[in-house]
Structures are given as structure tokens and as C-alpha cells.
């Protein structure tokens, strides 16, 4: 079973004329691997997974697998608020060649903690042996998977990691206290990568690394190696970029950034709309400040 640690990118998805832009997607993946990204995450929130068809979803994963060519693992987003739909999404991801799957807690229907346990148990039973990264992002889902629930999920051998996107450092410590070394702890919050790793994390699933893969890879490497001055300088240097990439709902800003960098077209899918002009100007200025524009 491959390990999922380090600087991991939640890939944005390029569209052209309403369809997946495969050439732009392949170029992004090559840039990511060259920039030190350790794991590719297609079809997460940043990938606009909720607005693609099942066929597009599987194709995006397959393209990522083909382009990675075994150099880095591919962990495919496949979560849903329906357990049956999640099981089917994981089947498609597995068929496309994914090395593992990122499964968000069911959203909107707000299951209890017991319901969350049964959801992940059902997926693991349906797909034995496929690594699962549990994704906890209560700000989007309306439900918070608690550390004691995560400990119960550690009984499932398929559950290998958790992406914790509360932004809470006390939550990171609580998870380490509950699960110890059994679970790989991954940050889902670009703003707190250094302190999260200091609290026991092994890496990040990042949005900002779409546009700054080398900087994020260097930050994670320095933090994990205990080079705190170097890591702190990088965390602070990227802080304005993080703010601007989340000044409007993700992935609106990151897709605009990739567009002005010449990697993507500007297309989003409704109900997302283009970035407001004032914020777009600020983001472009920060990309220039970081020497990310040619």
C-alpha cells in the first residue's frame, strides 16, 4: 500500500467549450510533478467534482493516472452525500486506476457520528484493500467528524489518513491523541501547514500548490525536517496568496490564477461565476510579487 504524505495538490479542473480540457489538465499535472508535488488529488472540491458528469469524473481520474505514469500516487475524490453513490464513484475511480480515494463526509443530510461510521464501513466493505483518506470539512458539509469517531474508523484497514480542514490546531492534537501513529494526519488548510505539521501532521492537501507547487513542497519538506526558520519564512511568504485564493469560494480564485498564468482557460461551471474584477487584480498582483507570472 502506497503512503500518502507530503505536499499533495487538490487539482483544479480545466474546461474548454463546456468539456474537460485534457491538454491543459495534462500540462498542470506535469507542472505539479516537476514542482515536487508528492500526490495528485483529482476530482475533489477544487476540481469542481459536484458539477461534472460521471463520465467526466472518471475521465479526469484516468488522465491523471496516465499522466502521472506511476511517478506519484493518484488519490481520487469520490465522495457524495449518498453512500450508494459514493460506492459507485469509488468503483469508477478504482476502474480508472486510482491508488486510493478521498471521501468527504456526506454533506447536506447531516448524518450523526454513528451514521458517518456506517457510511465509511459500507464503502470499505464494497472496496476492500483500496486506501481511503477521510475528508472532514464541516464548513462545507454541515457535519463535523469528531476525533472519537475517527478512532472508530481506524478499525477499518482501508482508512489510512484523514484530511482535516477545520483549521483547528487543537483538533490536530486531539486526533494525534486519539489515533496516534495509526493514522496519517493531513492538513486541509493552507494557512496553517507549518503549525499543523508541528502538531503531528504529515503533509497537506493544498489548493495553493496548484499555482505554487515548488513553494508548498519546500514548505512541507522544511517543516517535516524541523527547519523551522525556513518553513516559517515560506509560510509567511505564501500567506497573502492563500488569502487571495480564498477571498471568494474555492475554486473561483485558483482557476483565475491558473488562467492568468497561461495554464487554463477561464471557464467555470454554474453556479460558480468568474472572480470579481477588484479581487482578480489583487490576485494577479500577488502572483507577480511571487514571480509566478511569466
For residues 10 and 207, is the Cβ–Cβ distance under 8 A?
Answer: yes
Rg, Å, the chain Cα set:
18
- CA gap 10, 13 in Å, rounded: 10
Question: Which of 25, 107, 120, 135 is the catalytic position?
Answer: 135
3-state secondary structure of 39: strand
Per-residue HEC secondary structure of 10-25 comes to ECCCCEECCEECHHHH
Q: Residues in the chain, how many?
A: 294
Question: Which of 163, 202, 255, 294 is the catalytic position?
Answer: 163
Catalytic site includes residue 135: yes
DSSP state of 180: G
3-state secondary structure of 6: strand
CA dihedral 193, 224, 67, 62 (to 10 degrees): -60
Catalytic site includes residue 163: yes
- CA gap 48, 43 in Å, rounded: 7
For residues 123 and 83, is the Cβ–Cβ distance under 8 A?
Answer: yes
Nearest C-alpha neighbor of 116 from the set 139, 98, 142? 142
- CA gap 27, 234 in Å, rounded: 25
Residue listed under C-alpha cell 501547514:
193
Looking at the annotation, which residues are catalytic? Answer: 135, 163
Amino acid at each position: 500500500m502506497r503512503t500518502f504524505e507530503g505536499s499533495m495538490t487538490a487539482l483544479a479542473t480545466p474546461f474548454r467549450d463546456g468539456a474537460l480540457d485534457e491538454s491543459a489538465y495534462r500540462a498542470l499535472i506535469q507542472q505539479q510533478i516537476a514542482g515536487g508535488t508528492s500526490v495528485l488529488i483529482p476530482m475533489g472540491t477544487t476540481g469542481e467534482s459536484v458539477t461534472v458528469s460521471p463520465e467526466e469524473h472518471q475521465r479526469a481520474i484516468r488522465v491523471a493516472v496516465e499522466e502521472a505514469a506511476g511517478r506519484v500516487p493518484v488519490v481520487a475524490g469520490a465522495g457524495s452525500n449518498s453512500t450508494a453513490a459514493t460506492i459507485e464513484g469509488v468503483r469508477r475511480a478504482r476502474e480508472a486506476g486510482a491508488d486510493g480515494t478521498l471521501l468527504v463526509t456526506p454533506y447536506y443530510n447531516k448524518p450523526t457520528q454513528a451514521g458517518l461510521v456506517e457510511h465509511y464501513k459500507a464503502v470499505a466493505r464494497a472496496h476492500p484493500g483500496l486506501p481511503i483518506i477521510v475528508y472532514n470539512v464541516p464548513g462545507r458539509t454541515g457535519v463535523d467528524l469528531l476525533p472519537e469517531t475517527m478512532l472508530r474508523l481506524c478499525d477499518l484497514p482501508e482508512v489510512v489518513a484523514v484530511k482535516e480542514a477545520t483549521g483547528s490546531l487543537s483538533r490536530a492534537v486531539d486526533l494525534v491523541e486519539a489515533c496516534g501513529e495509526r493514522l496519517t494526519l493531513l492538513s486541509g488548510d493552507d494557512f496553517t501547514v507549518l503549525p499543523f505539521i508541528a502538531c503531528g501532521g504529515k503533509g497537506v492537501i493544498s489548493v495553493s500548490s496548484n499555482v505554487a507547487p515548488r513553494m508548498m513542497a519546500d514548505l512541507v519538506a522544511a517543516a517535516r525536517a524541523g527547519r523551522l526558520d525556513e518553513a516559517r519564512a515560506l509560510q509567511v511568504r505564501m500567506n497573502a496568496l492563500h488569502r487571495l485564493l480564498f477571498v471568494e469560494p474555492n475554486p473561483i480564485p485558483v482557476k483565475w490564477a491558473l488562467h492568468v498564468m497561461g495554464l487554463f482557460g477561464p471557464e467555470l461551471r454554474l453556479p460558480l461565476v468568474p472572480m470579481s474584477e477588484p479581487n482578480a487584480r489583487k490576485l494577479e498582483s500577488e502572483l507577480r510579487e511571487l514571480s509566478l507570472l511569466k
